[in-house]
Amino acid sequence: MSATRLAWVDAARGICVLLVVLLHVRIFVYEPLAPPSNGVAVWTQLTEFFGAFRLPLLFAVSGFVASRRVRAGWSDRRTVLRAVSLSWLYVVWLTVYAVLSIVVIDPGVPFRVMTPLHYLEQLFVPDSMLWFIFALAAYVVVLSSLNRVPPAAILGVLAVLAIASGALPVTRDEALWLHVVYYAVFFAVGVYGSSVLTYLAGVRSAFALALGVASFVAFELMWQQSVEGTVLETGLRLLRDGAAVAVSIVLISLLVRWRPFDRVASAVGRRTLPIFVLQLPLIWTLFLLPPVEWSLEFAPVRYLAPVLGTALIVLAALGIHRLIVRGPARVLFALPEAWRTRILHGAARGVLGR
């Protein structure tokens, strides 16, 4: 992977993660605590608009990064390592959330692990912000196991499943499970369409960019006119999100030429894990701290609060991660070294035995 490609990949991941945290700050801190104002409505519209970009692009880029190993299947022991590492992270942080839920009993905080049964259920059906890691682990396992199946068939089936997911009745308990189904096709696009994503990152044509934007706008308008909870609505959403991924890659590959953007976005993109897993405890902290609610009474703070909250969470997560990885608690962020060595030594023995 060339330096140019790494730049746009890291930047894309960084921007997506920032948008995800911004959404969660708005939903779980800003809206509950801020007094009614036009600012709340503006931030709601803005964060909902970026829904077409943040997760579709993040999953596509995640698939792009994992493409070579996933397509190699289980013959590459690094694929086994990736699957086990993601599963480890999910179980470890679900356990951390469960322990914290015993201490934090305020009913206003989201995604508490309510009972031991709720914890066990989440080992199979995610119900927290960790659903993203659950999804990545599931995608790696499934696609690696299907590495001999024609990619077109896999993409077709996943697209059908994504569209069909829109016709299922949605409740709070089912929503995150449906996310795992819907976004699988974008991860698969990254895996099997890595050459297409690379091509998009090299596009420098104003006409091509304008065509992409026009396609996104057209699908967005059609999607807005569709009836929610139908196959047509989800099909148009899939087309809209696909256009958003293409436009995002072209734009980000251009923006990384501006050094300040590249430096900040790529720095975040190379450290997405601690931000993802620590954002929930930090959101709980912001929600529970009285000074946060008091500060929202002041207009300058209120109108910038989602951005300020996002910045605080990102900086705190990176700082906490830096401290933790220096000691034995680093296993919170990585598979124990003994396990990792055992998995990779299996690969070495396989090579020597040929």
What does the CA dihedral 6, 313, 30, 15 come to, rounded to 10 degrees?
0
Q: In the prediction, which pLDDT does 345 show?
A: 81
Question: What pLDDT was estimated at residue 353?
Answer: 40
Residues 119-138: b if buried by 16+ CB within 10 A, e if exposed: beebeeebbbbbbbbbbbbb
Q: What string of DSSP letters covers 237-293?
A: HHHHHHHHHHHHHHHHHHHTTSHHHHHHHHHHHTTHHHHHHHHHHHHHHHHH-HHHH
The model's pTM: 0.92
The reported pLDDT for the residue numbered 40 is: 82
Instruction: Give the other-Cβ count within 10 Å of 27's Cβ.
Output: 16
Q: How far apart are CA 54 and CA 59, in angstroms?
A: 9
How far apart CA 110 and CA 260 sit, in angstroms, is 35
Eight-class DSSP state of 207: H
DSSP string of 52-82? Answer: GTHHHHHHHHHHHHHHHHHHHGGGSHHHHHH
Residue whose entry in the numeric block shows the structure tokens 């999804």: 135
Mean pLDDT per segment of 10 residues, for the chain of length 354 residues?
67 96 96 83 91 96 95 92 96 97 92 95 94 97 96 97 84 74 97 94 90 95 90 94 96 93 93 96 96 90 93 97 93 92 68 40
Q: Give DSSP secondary structure letters for 141-198.
A: HHHHHTTTS-HHHHHHHHHHHHHHHTTS---HHHHHHHHHHHTHHHHHHHHH-HHHHH
Q: Give me the pLDDT at residue 172, please.
A: 53
Candidates 62, 50, 90; CA nearest to 269 is: 62
The predicted structure's pLDDT at residue 352: 38
Phi, psi of 273, deg, nearest 5: -60, -55
Domain ranges of the chain: 3-352
Distance separating the N- and C-terminal Cα atoms of the chain: 28
> Cα(179)–Cα(213) distance, rounded to whole angstroms?
25
> Three-class SS of residue 227?
coil
| Of the candidates 273, 258, 279, the residue with the CA atom closest to the CA atom of residue 333 | 273
